[in-house]
């Protein structure tokens, strides 16, 4: 056990736990209202929103998985950098409209907006269920990031407790029990406040890593020279096969459209105090993309350091595969006290998004399932109480998801997340600009996209999300989210034209154009 690192890790973890409970008193509001508990009262300004969205979108699993992909596959892992650059012009141009109409109508979720825009509860239910299903394995994968760094500290993940026996993933159980309690108590205010600490730790870790590790390894020239030349650039396309370049481009494009459709991203946006805050953050958030590029390089540094072949890290790589690359690199390159800080940054980076994701799922269930179908006349206090309970259930479900399934299976199921959530794009994104799309046509398009995307992932045994399309004799490797979205859009547009022409039913729109301004 790495005692110095563990002491610092536990101290920082205890500090953010205290912050989480204190957050209930920060910017005090009536936490018996869903808008206060689940959206922070829509009062977060530019700075707090920047930290909140940064903590929400750049997660512990990002810190572990992106370098791991670079470590194992090379240049393909860099797709995360261009997509987090492309997404912010989309955020700037489109999502202030969602904030405005949500504020005007009191909407808490994207499904609320779809219900109001198209007047169809079934379509809203589909959007809500898709959001919950796509997010659950995402929460579980935050646990993977935490599990990796806890193992890196040398802690026994499944100790034998007298009178109880072996308790699997006991440290994770303790960590997420604490997370569940302060999320229940403080709502979205807790991850918003903790995100500030997380980001300071994260940036300190990244800056130290890109200065110290290259100096130890002899500079970036030697780092890149140590990598396999075949992995440093993508293989070129040919006339018969567009190859990795097509896969890379569609991964970036699909991820761009999917990111801010996730419920936790929508929750972060709707907690802003104004549409101007959303736009300011679209300008400021690319700072995280710069940090992400530096984080990705840790994978190449790990290759150059040779940690995979070092016997002291053999068990870590055997258990977690390439995901152990960053912890091994830090253990090899830094003194124990700094390892404690770095690992705490990653673990706290798991708590922030996990909290927001569980709150977002609770908002969806409460507003679009419980209130819509189970108890339409529930009081605001009862609504908030149901959301708090559901947030606990979601965390518990994610915990058992990761304990009950081997890590690699959780990762494979998470590949479906982007494929599923992108199917809500026609109803949400196009719905921000027009109400002429028929809701039943949108539902058919959603079903076609969900079925085709899941089929492509199933064909690949859920191991990869790239599916080779055969178009006019040319193989076009494509992210399944993009190709299934094209089918979704085609079905939605064609059937909207047919249904509107035959039925001629007027739109059942509860919003007005002034609500979007």
Closest CA to 330 of 160, 85, 152, 111: 152
Which residues, other chains included, contact 76 with Cβ-Cβ below 8 Å and sequence gap of 6+?
69, 234, 244, 247, 248
Which residues, other chains included, contact 86 with Cβ-Cβ below 8 Å and sequence gap of 6+?
252, 253, 256
Closest CA to 387 of 404, 410, 405, 364: 364
437, two tokens: 């799309």
> Domain coordinates of the chain in residue numbers?
3-237+276-404, 418-517
- CA dihedral sign, ordered 7, 11, 12, 16: positive
Residue 154, CB half-sphere, CA atoms under 13 Å: how many? 12
Segment 420-453, tens digit of pLDDT: 999 999 999 999 999 999 999 999 999 999 999 9
Q: What are phi and psi of 481, to 5 degrees?
A: -65, -40
pLDDT at 279: 96
Length of the chain, in residues: 517
Closest CA to 74 of 222, 229, 220: 229
Q: What are phi and psi of 44, to 5 degrees?
A: -80, 130
N-to-C CA span, the chain: 57
Say if domain 3-237+276-404 classifies as CATH 1.20.1730.10: yes
- Identify the burial level of 221 via C-beta atoms within 10 angstroms of its C-beta, where 0-12 means exposed, 13-18 middle and 19 or more buried: exposed
Query: Which of the residues in the chain have pLDDT under 50?
Result: none
Please compute Rg for the chain using Cα positions. 23
410, two tokens: 């959780």
How many whole angstroms separate alpha carbon 70 and alpha carbon 227? 10
333, two tokens: 């390159």
How many whole angstroms separate alpha carbon 253 and alpha carbon 482? 8
Closest CA to 243 of 65, 76, 83: 76
Would you list the DSSP string of 346-397? HHHHHHHHHHHHHHHHHHHHIIIIIIIII-TT--HHHHHHHHHHHHHHHHHH
Would you list the DSSP string of 397-444? HHHHHHHHS-HHHHHHHHHHHHHHHGGGHHHHTGGGT-S-S-HHHHHH
Would you list the DSSP string of 84-148? HHHHHHHHHHHHHHHHHHHHHHT--SHHHHHHHHH--HHHHHHHHHHHHHHHHHHHHHHHHHHHH
Q: Name residue 161's beta-bridge partners.
A: 165
């Amino acid at each position: 056990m790495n005692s110095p690192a563990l002491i610092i890790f536990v101290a920082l973890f205890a500090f953010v736990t205290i912050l989480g409970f204190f957050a209930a008193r920060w910017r005090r509001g009536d936490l018996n209202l869903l808008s206060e508990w689940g959206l922070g009262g829509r009062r977060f300004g530019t700075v707090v929103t920047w930290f909140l969205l940064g903590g929400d979108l750049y997660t512990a699993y990002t810190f572990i998985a992106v370098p791991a992909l670079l470590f194992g596959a090379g240049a393909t892992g860099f797709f995360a950098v261009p997509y987090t650059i492309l997404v912010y012009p989309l955020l700037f141009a489109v999502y202030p409209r969602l904030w405005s109409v949500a504020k005007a109508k009191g909407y808490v979720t994207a499904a609320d907006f779809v219900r109001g825009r198209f007047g169809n509860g079934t379509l809203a239910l589909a959007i809500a269920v898709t959001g919950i299903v796509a997010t659950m394995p995402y929460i579980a994968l935050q646990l993977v990031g935490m599990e990796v760094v806890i193992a890196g500290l040398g802690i026994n993940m499944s100790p034998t407790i007298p009178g109880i026996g072996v308790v699997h993933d006991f440290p994770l159980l303790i960590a997420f029990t604490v997370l569940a309690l302060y999320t229940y108590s403080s709502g979205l205010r807790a991850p918003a406040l903790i995100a500030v600490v997380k980001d300071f730790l994260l940036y300190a870790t990244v800056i130290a890593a890109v200065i110290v590790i290259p100096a130890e390894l002899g500079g970036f020239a030697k780092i890149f020279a140590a990598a396999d030349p075949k992995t440093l650039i993508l293989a070129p396309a040919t006339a018969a096969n567009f190859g990795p370049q097509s896969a890379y481009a569609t991964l970036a494009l699909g991820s761009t459209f999917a990111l801010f459709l996730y419920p936790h991203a929508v929750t972060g946006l709707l907690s802003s105090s104004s549409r101007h805050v959303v736009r300011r953050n679209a300008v400021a958030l690319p700072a995280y993309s710069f940090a992400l590029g530096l984080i990705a390089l840790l994978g190449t540094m790990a290759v150059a350091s040779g940690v995979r072949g070092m016997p002291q890290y053999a068990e870590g790589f055997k258990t977690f595969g390439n995901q152990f690359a960053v912890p091994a690199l830090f253990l090899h390159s830094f003194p124990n006290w700094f390892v404690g800080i770095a690992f705490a940054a990653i673990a706290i980076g798991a708590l922030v998004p996990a909290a927001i994701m569980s709150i977002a799922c609770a908002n969806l269930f409460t507003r679009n399932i419980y209130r819509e179908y189970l108890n339409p006349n529930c009081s605001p206090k009862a609504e908030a109480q149901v959301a708090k309970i559901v947030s606990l259930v979601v965390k518990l479900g994610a915990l058992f998801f990761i304990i009950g399934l081997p890590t690699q299976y959780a990762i494979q199921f998470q590949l479906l997340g982007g494929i599923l959530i992108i199917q809500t794009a026609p109803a949400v994104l196009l719905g921000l600009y027009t109400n002429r799309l028929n809701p039943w046509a949108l539902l058919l398009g959603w079903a076609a996209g969900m079925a085709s995307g899941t089929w492509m992932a199933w064909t690949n045994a859920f191991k990869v999300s790239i599916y080779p399309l055969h178009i006019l004799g040319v193989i076009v490797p494509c992210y399944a989210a993009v190709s299934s979205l094209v089918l979704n859009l085609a079905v939605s547009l064609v059937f909207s034209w047919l249904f509107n022409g035959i039925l001629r039913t007027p739109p059942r729109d509860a919003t007005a154009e002034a609500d979007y301004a």
